[in-house]
Amino acid sequence: MASLYERLGGSQSVDKAVDIFYRKVIMDDRVSSFFDGIDMLEQAQKQKAFLTVVMGGPNVYTGKDMREGHKHLVARGLNDSHVDAIIELLSATLTELGVGEAEVKEVADLANSVRSDVLNR
Amino acid sequence: MARLKFEGIEIEATEDVDVLSALLQAGANVAFSCRIGVCQSCMLRSVKGDVPKEAQTGLRDSQISENFFLACQCVPSNDIEIERPYTTQHFLEGIVSSVDDMADGMRRLRIDAELAYRAGQYVTLWVDGQTGHRCSLASLPEANSPLEFHVKPVAGDRFSDWVTRDVNIGDTVRLQGPVGATFYVPGHTQQPIILAGTGSGLPAIYGILRDALQNAHQGDIHFLAEAQDEKDLYLRSLLSELDDGQNRFKFHHIVRPDLAEGPGIYQGAMADFIEDEFGTLAGWRSFICGDPPAVERIKKEIFLAGASLNEIHSDPYYQIGNPPGHIPSMSDSAS
């Protein structure tokens, strides 16, 4: 079966998802402070890569990337509760785009699978 | 067989080999990560020679118009000359052709130079070996027309002293750049546009407005100038001159309550103005120029008002200038 990434329409639908997801992230008090003071447009490109992967598109990350990319945030207090919040916002984004419950869970599981890399454990 | 030129090396790329692989193989130091065209780490720019369309998938219109491409997705069929994007190592000489006072205590500087640029980009002006200043271009790139800069004098600043006191017509200056991806790209002529600027970004926004008007943009255009002091109101007269009575754009000054009042002046915060005036900005194209903290804030406000990230044009905070101790000379010229 085609991946969710392909079924939703590939790169362009990811752009739409990034708009929704990023808006949720910067409005959520639990995680928004991690996004303060960084360039939004550069960050959006990273989120696009992230959403591409968790929606089953081409995988662009290695565990090492995930570790390096979040090290400074772990030092600032990034922990499980923040990862939970991000996965929750990601799920809400996909639901808003009309993705079914089972598939949302699949994506959440995929996102969850990089948790220990993100948290540098 | 395609020939690639990049930072002093020349390579014969074998058929079916992408530019990234060819460059890496030749020992070039190029950033990359995913190698499948998503992360954009390996973005480069062709300064000579076409690149295949597939190599530009996912890039912004402004980047495509400047021949940016993803090296990992680029299998060229012709010769290309490649540069890193947003390179700041181009130097050019210019001659001061006029300098005068504008409204509200601003200074206007005009310089003759053969600079290829787009309205809204910026250059660093070096007036001597040590004094450089990042200035956005307020002019349109027309043949035989000088570059125009609007400078806000700041007490105790060497560049300000030069532009208010020491400059003479006929002086030679050195220009570094141009840099910047915030400019109007023709197309989608019905799309409404927001041009938002603060401080040093106001001349750029003014240039982009002129560019959009010259390209006969049909959608609504709103010019939002956030003024920190009286000098930031200086564009009023220039904007009135641009107004041909056909309502092709509206301008608004966003000010603190004690700064100014009158038609076109909104006292309060930019975010409140956006909400009052437009409600949602879904479907709008926006351009934001100015001091980095203000730009980040306005970007966020415009995004939260519903604009898509792909439609927000604003320069990331590219560092321009030279490392301390390095005095630019003509021998630095890269092109």
Instruction: Tell if the CB–CB gap between A41 and B314 is shorter than 8 Å.
Output: yes
pTM for the predicted model, two decimal places: 0.87
- Residue A27 in contact with partner chain B when CB distance is under 8 A: yes
- Residue B34 in contact with partner chain A when CB distance is under 8 A: yes
Q: Among partner residues A26, A44, A58, which is closest to B38 by beta-carbon distance?
A: A58
The 10 Å Cβ neighbour count of residue B297 is 18
- Rounded mean pLDDT of A86-108? 94
Per-residue pLDDT reduced to its tens digit, A31-76: 999 988 788 888 888 888 888 888 888 776 777 778 988 999 999 9
Per-residue pLDDT reduced to its tens digit, B130-160: 888 989 999 999 888 999 999 999 888 899 9
Domain residue spans of chain A:
16-54+62-118
Cα–Cα distance measured from residue A9 to residue A57, given in angstroms and rounded to the nearest whole number:
11
Per-residue pLDDT reduced to its tens digit, B241-279: 998 888 899 999 999 888 888 888 999 998 899 999 999
- Residue B57 in contact with partner chain A when CB distance is under 8 A: yes
Question: Is residue A78 predicted with pLDDT exceeding 50?
Answer: yes
Q: What is the pLDDT of residue B250?
A: 94
- Supply the angle between the helices B270-278 and B292-304 in degrees, to the nearest 10: 30
Q: What is the pLDDT of residue B323?
A: 34
CATH class of the B91-180+319-332 domain in this structure = mainly beta
Q: What is the pLDDT of residue A1?
A: 67
Q: What is the pLDDT of residue B282?
A: 95
Domain residue spans of chain B:
2-83, 91-180+319-332, 193-314
- Residue B326 in contact with partner chain A when CB distance is under 8 A: no
Give φ, ψ of A43 to 5 degrees. -65, -35
Choose between B145 and A3: higher pLDDT.
B145
The architecture (CATH level 2) of B2-83 comes to Roll (3.10)
Instruction: Tell if the CB–CB gap between B309 and A41 is shorter than 8 Å.
Output: yes
Q: Are strands B68-70 and B43-48 parallel, antiparallel or unpaired?
A: antiparallel
| Positions in chain B whose pLDDT score sits under 70 | 316-335
Provide the ipTM. 0.89
Cα–Cα distance measured from residue B83 to residue B69, given in angstroms and rounded to the nearest whole number:
11
CATH 1.10.490.10 assigned to domain A16-54+62-118? The reply is yes
Mutate to test the interface with A, among B298, B309, B312 (most CBs of A within 10 A): B309
Q: What is the pLDDT of residue B334?
A: 36
Q: According to CATH, what is the number of the domain B193-314?
A: 3.40.50.80
